Structure formats: structure tokens, C-alpha cells
């Protein structure tokens, strides 16, 4: 009889530990999927930038340095995104992506300031359409980033709670996932002001 009770308790304990493992895996998959949504939107943003620069290039022949800075910042952000996509939630990868996005936002801000001096460019319908698409994409990035951060917070909270904290490291969940915070709180959250 006692053996049967002990065996029953061990079976229940086994299933409880399995449920902890499954929940950790589920939460990790959720934040990794949320990062994939950020990746999709950032890639769209990066694809729009060369079109924006090409359209501006025809009007801004004397502003080559500004245009090159935007493309360089875009390429750096693409590289950081690839690194972060390989390990979403990694502290170094998230900080690298946040830094690259800050540089890109600053470069786009400088481009906006320079474009103000070109009334013909501001009146260009292609430029207005690109600006609208970029603004829409920026809003989607902000929404996706919030969803990612919510998923990371849920994962971290569960991983740190009792009793999962005792099992997390042995199940391969030894570290908290990192939130994606941009250095400048206005970067990405508020789309860069590109007005024409």
C-alpha cells in the first residue's frame, strides 16, 4: 500500500516536472516567434530605405555624404538583425540590434533635415508614397517589438518563479531572455518624421 502511494506521488511529480519543461519550451517558442515578426517588419523597413535614397538622390546631388550614411547605417542594421535572429533574446544580440537601429534612425533623421531644403523632392509622389510606407512599417515594428517584449517578460517571469526556477537551468533555460529596448526611446516607437 505504501509503495503504491509513493509510486503514485512519483508519477504525479514526474508529470508536474514534464509540464514545467513543456511550459518553458512553449514560452521560449512564443518569444522567438514574436522576434520573427519584428524581423519581418525590419526587413521591410530595410527594403524601403534604398528606394527612398534612390528617389532622393536625383534631387540631392550635393548631399552624397548624407545618403551614403543612411545606406551604411541600413547595412549595419541588417547585419545586427541577422545576428539577433540567430539567437532572439540574447542580451548581446538585442543590444547590438538596438544600437544599430539607433544609428539608422539618426541617419534617417539627418536625411529628413536635408530633404527639407528640396521643395521639388517634397512634392514628388513617389517620395510621399515611400514616406507613408516607411511610417506604416515603423508602426508595425513598434507593435511587434511590444509583443516580443511581452512574450519575453512572460517567459522570464515563469522561468524565475517557484518551482520552475529549480528545473529551468537543467532544462536548458538557464538565462533570462533580453528585452528589445532601443537606446533612444523615440527610435522606432515613433516613426521618423519624413514629411513632404
Report all structural domains of the chain as residue ranges with CATH numbers, in order of start.
19-171 (1.20.1440.20)
Among 45, 69, 39, 40, residue whose Cα is nearest residue 135: 45
The SS3 of residue 161 is: coil
* Residue range 1-37, pLDDT digits in tens: 899 999 999 999 999 999 999 999 999 999 999 999 9
Among 66, 73, 102, residue whose Cα is nearest residue 187: 102
pLDDT value at residue 106? 94
pLDDT mean over 112-137: 85
The C-alpha atoms of residue 158 and residue 170 are separated, in whole angstroms, by: 15
159, pLDDT greater than 90: yes
Q: What is the pTM of this model?
A: 0.84
Q: 136 CB contacts (<8 Å, ≥6 apart)?
A: none
- Please tell me the least confidently modeled range out of 41-50, 168-177, 184-193: 184-193
The C-alpha atoms of residue 100 and residue 108 are separated, in whole angstroms, by: 12
The C-alpha atoms of residue 67 and residue 47 are separated, in whole angstroms, by: 15
The C-alpha atoms of residue 148 and residue 33 are separated, in whole angstroms, by: 8
Amino acid at each position: 500500500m505504501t509503495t503504491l502511494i509513493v509510486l503514485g506521488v512519483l508519477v504525479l511529480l514526474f508529470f508536474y516536472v514534464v509540464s514545467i519543461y513543456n511550459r518553458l519550451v512553449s514560452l521560449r517558442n512564443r518569444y522567438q516567434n514574436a522576434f520573427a515578426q519584428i524581423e519581418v517588419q525590419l526587413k521591410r523597413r530595410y527594403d524601403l530605405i534604398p528606394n527612398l535614397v534612390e528617389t532622393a538622390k536625383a534631387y540631392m546631388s550635393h548631399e552624397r555624404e548624407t545618403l551614403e550614411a543612411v545606406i551604411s547605417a541600413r547595412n549595419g542594421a541588417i547585419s545586427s538583425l541577422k545576428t539577433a535572429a540567430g539567437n532572439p533574446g540574447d542580451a548581446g544580440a538585442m543590444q547590438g540590434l538596438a544600437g544599430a537601429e539607433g544609428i539608422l534612425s539618426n541617419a534617417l533623421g539627418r536625411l529628413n533635415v536635408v530633404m527639407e531644403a528640396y521643395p521639388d523632392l517634397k512634392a514628388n509622389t513617389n517620395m510621399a508614397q515611400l514616406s507613408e510606407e516607411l511610417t506604416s512599417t515603423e508602426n508595425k515594428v513598434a507593435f511587434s517589438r511590444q509583443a516580443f517584449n511581452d512574450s519575453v517578460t512572460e517567459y522570464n517571469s515563469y522561468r524565475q518563479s517557484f518551482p520552475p526556477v529549480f528545473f529551468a537551468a537543467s532544462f536548458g533555460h538557464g538565462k533570462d531572455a533580453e528585452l528589445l529596448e532601443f537606446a533612444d526611446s523615440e527610435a522606432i516607437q515613433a516613426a521618423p518624421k519624413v514629411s513632404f
